[in-house]
Chains A and B, each alone.
Chain A
């Protein structure tokens, strides 16, 4: 299978410019800046059906197209590298293994949207990523791939790294902007969307690291090539991060149309110790959990959505039959309670309440009405909040209760664990 994003991974000194230049490095940027207009680039990206790989799956070309043409304010590109979704560890590898692929994507994107400055917001814990990316940026400046007059053209592009300070919510794009502006990471009310009023009140495009790493290959090889790699309305490959009860956990770059069964059993080596699969989270902890019967689903955004889950960030967490699903639900709820930013009331108060409720059931001191109340409390959060975090609580925790209800009932009735 053809690799795009991870094509240089594992090579010696893969993060160095000389290695990147060996394999047509920065040729896409040169082609874009010298032979193409911004409108042509946006059109090419639209036709490639590249979708936002941070988790929302929004069409990238369309997002770029929202930047107003006649706005005299400066435009910004913000790279979302605040990879905090549990089960997700792909951006980290792009930063560390192929930072120049990201930088080339940034240069092309900045040119396409008329921006001269890109901010890379990296999760604060990713110290190594920050170090390596900064090294790559320095190399690029030295070789005139960044700065003023890139590669002899009249294009300017500056890249600045901004480490986060450890809040999951800062991966939400408007909370990220607030954080970048030096404020507390609270999601903004929408509209206006960042494309119109974004960073410092200026039009802003916010893209995930993996999304931008796909840009240069699309420009080089054409949108049709990229689109054909994908499935249905989603072009290209994506990185799946497989963790949990599998023999070979790790990152796998695979086409979007692959099934979850193939990923688990063919690529990740199946479930260890001959145990049986019980449940899978297909796209990071916010994605509703799938049962073992549902793993023939294709892993593109639309297919997973159609069965009530989501492709999210590509973080696949596999759970075998030794997993206590009440425990799994409680851990998810604990994460949400800990990371709720506390801005709006349903999520602030609800996430903690849900966690407490699950904690009681898990510790076998729950009463029947705890389980009876749980779905109601959970569903009251989603749809009533400022950002999608509330929806994630509803969908994620709700799915454990609805799909594995007997385990919850057992904890309450028998006051013992089934496992």
Chain B
């Protein structure tokens, strides 16, 4: 393995590594536009040029392989001058419309200009006018050809990652312009990623455009709850200016690097499915049509359970958990209902139809935590479908459902019969849906962006989610609600936080042993077989 020195720091890397990869390992930041670690090297932007000892010309760090004894300088006067030069060229025909550009604040042209540019302008010419400014190239993405620096990251993404090849660079010289091929639209399942990889404001997201300046955004690491892949994401939100966006907190989701799961990418379905966090939420407990306090809600629930408990009729209780809940929620469900109350009818398998899938990131199972629910609740009988059937026939007095829209799953008639035949139909859910109208008691739960916990994805990888902000209204986390109930029932299950729940999980379940929040960190850990 070749040894080399970059800016006086020594490193040993495998043969075939490029200078920029070695520098990244050392934490030395070489500016880049066209280079992206997940895409083939294009070598066209020329900003990553570095000085290699014994070589007359500057070399591009993204393409030059390391060699034994190589000495690289990334901050020599010659290199800094070259960066300045390349920036100057890139701005020759750039409109510099930063005040109206949505990329401002996360634009690499701005960033590198502040760091390496800062020259007096020598430009006196009319810029080349390009055709498409603020031009829609598909359902989700806008193109601005003037801002494009022709790094071809998006072209290579569409050619190599999605293999849909929508993009091309047309014409030549300084009239070159990026566009989609005639008759084509950027309309694939991963379109939104081109906005992430675009280093400038050429490709912007219709969903996010002009909604919020990026410097107002706070970022919280999370996991996409859209399917069992569990793509690593950041939830980007703003609470400082609620008047600007109708009180919505979440502004956008962005993929977060995890080489073992989603690499740099996420699908469009996951990316744009965040509006439910702020819209259509159930904010207060509700008994029939009346808004009530948590005390009364939990009291009502406990009053229904106690007589059944005293009569030893736990077979009259059915619990429909959900694979959308965190491992922590599911563990408390198991601990309270199965272990403490000895209820046998606890299951989460409602028989959802598989959704669409591909061989990249989209999985047919649209639940983020099926693997975790199986690990924690097991796959014993009766399953959730059987419990629903029993409830329909009036064999159940208390049906406690977590989140599932039963109307959508089993049809209106079934839910109407449940409403009639079950004494107390409890529906614990975060968002308003058709089933709410049939529930006797509605308990508002928080969404994933308000929760701390873990999901286990289809690769058996346990991954953490972090709370971005407090639950909306009076809603509470699922296990916290159960904790309140357990106190009312005189069998308190109390934790100071999700971390403590997880400690309990790790302590009692062998698949989770050796795990802790610290160890899982932001890249996840795989369940033990």
B-contacting residues of A (Cβ < 8 Å)? 167, 169, 184, 189, 337-346, 348-353, 356-357, 360, 367, 369-370, 373, 377, 380, 383-386
Contact = CB atoms under 8 A, between A and B. Distances in A.
A396 B49 CA distance: 24
A352 B85 contact: no
A337 B174 contact: yes
Interface of chain A, helix or strand or loop or mixed? helix
B151 to A, nearest CB: 9
Given A342-B150, A348-B150, 9 more contacts: A340-B174, A342-B171, A346-B89, A348-B173, A348-B174, A353-B174, A360-B124, A380-B85, A385-B46
Contact of B125 (A184, A339, A340, A353): A353
A377 B125 CA distance: 14
B287 to A, nearest CB: 66
Contacts of A384: 46, 49, 58, 82, 85-86
8 contacts: A184-B169, A345-B86, A349-B174, A351-B173, A353-B92, A380-B89, A384-B82, A384-B86
Given A184-B169, A384-B86, A346 B174 contact: no
Given A167-B172, A377-B122, A345 B58 contact: no
A289 B41 CA distance: 36
A283 B522 CA distance: 61
Contact of A337 (B58, B82, B173): B173
A337 B173 CA distance: 6
B167 interface: no
A346 B150 CA distance: 12
Nearest to A386: B43
A386 B42 CA distance: 10
Of A169, A337, A342, A350, chain B has the most CB atoms within 10 Å of the CB of A342
A346 B93 CA distance: 12
Interface string B31-55: 0000000000101111101000000
Contacts of A385: 46
A356 B169 contact: no
A351 B125 CA distance: 13
A383 B173 contact: no
B124 A370 contact: yes
Contacts of B45: 344-345
A172 to B, nearest CB: 13
A377 B91 CA distance: 13
B257 to A, nearest CB: 26
A24 B80 CA distance: 61
A341 B169 CA distance: 11
A360 B175 CA distance: 20
Nearest to A379: B85
B150 A338 contact: no
A159 B214 CA distance: 59
B110 interface: no
A260 to B, nearest CB: 29
Size range of the interface on B? 20 to 34
A338 B49 CA distance: 26
Contacts of A343: 44, 150
B175 A189 contact: no
Contacts of A360: 124-125
Of A169, A339, A340, chain B has the most CB atoms within 10 Å of the CB of A340
B173 A345 contact: no
Interface string B169-185: 10111111000000000
Given A370-B124, A385-B46, A340 B85 contact: no
B57 interface: yes
A380 B492 CA distance: 74
B149 A342 contact: no
Interface in B318-333: none
Contacts of A380: 85, 88-89
B134 interface: no
Contacts of B63: 189
Contacts of A351: 173-174
Contacts of B58: 383-384
A345 B92 CA distance: 10
Interface in B4-63: 41, 43-47, 49, 57-58, 63
A342 B85 contact: no
A342 B174 contact: yes
A340 B86 contact: no
A372 to B, nearest CB: 9
Contacts of B46: 344-346, 384-385
A383 B85 CA distance: 12
B128 interface: yes
Contacts of A377: 122
Given A352-B128, A360-B124, A384-B86, A345 B149 contact: yes
B67 interface: no
A345 B128 contact: no
Contacts of B104: none
A345 B43 contact: no
Of B43, B85, B174, B176, chain A has the most CB atoms within 10 Å of the CB of B174
A100 B305 CA distance: 101
B173 A342 contact: yes
Given A189-B43, A344-B46, A349 B172 contact: no
Contacts of A350: 89, 92
Interface string B470-506: 0000000000000000000000000000000000000
B90 interface: yes
Contacts of B82: 384
A108 to B, nearest CB: 36
A342 B168 CA distance: 13
A391 to B, nearest CB: 10
Contacts of B90: 345, 349
Contacts of B43: 189, 344, 386
A338 B173 contact: yes
A384 B84 CA distance: 12
A331 to B, nearest CB: 16
A341 B172 contact: yes
B150 A345 contact: yes
Contacts of B47: 345
A169 B58 CA distance: 23
Nearest to A188: B43
Closest 7 CB pairs of A and B: A342-B176, A352-B174, A340-B173, A349-B92, A349-B89, A356-B125, A380-B85
A370 B122 CA distance: 8
A384 B49 CA distance: 8
Contacts of A357: 125
A21 B272 CA distance: 74
Contacts of A345: 44-47, 86, 89-90, 149-150
Contacts of B92: 349-350, 352-353
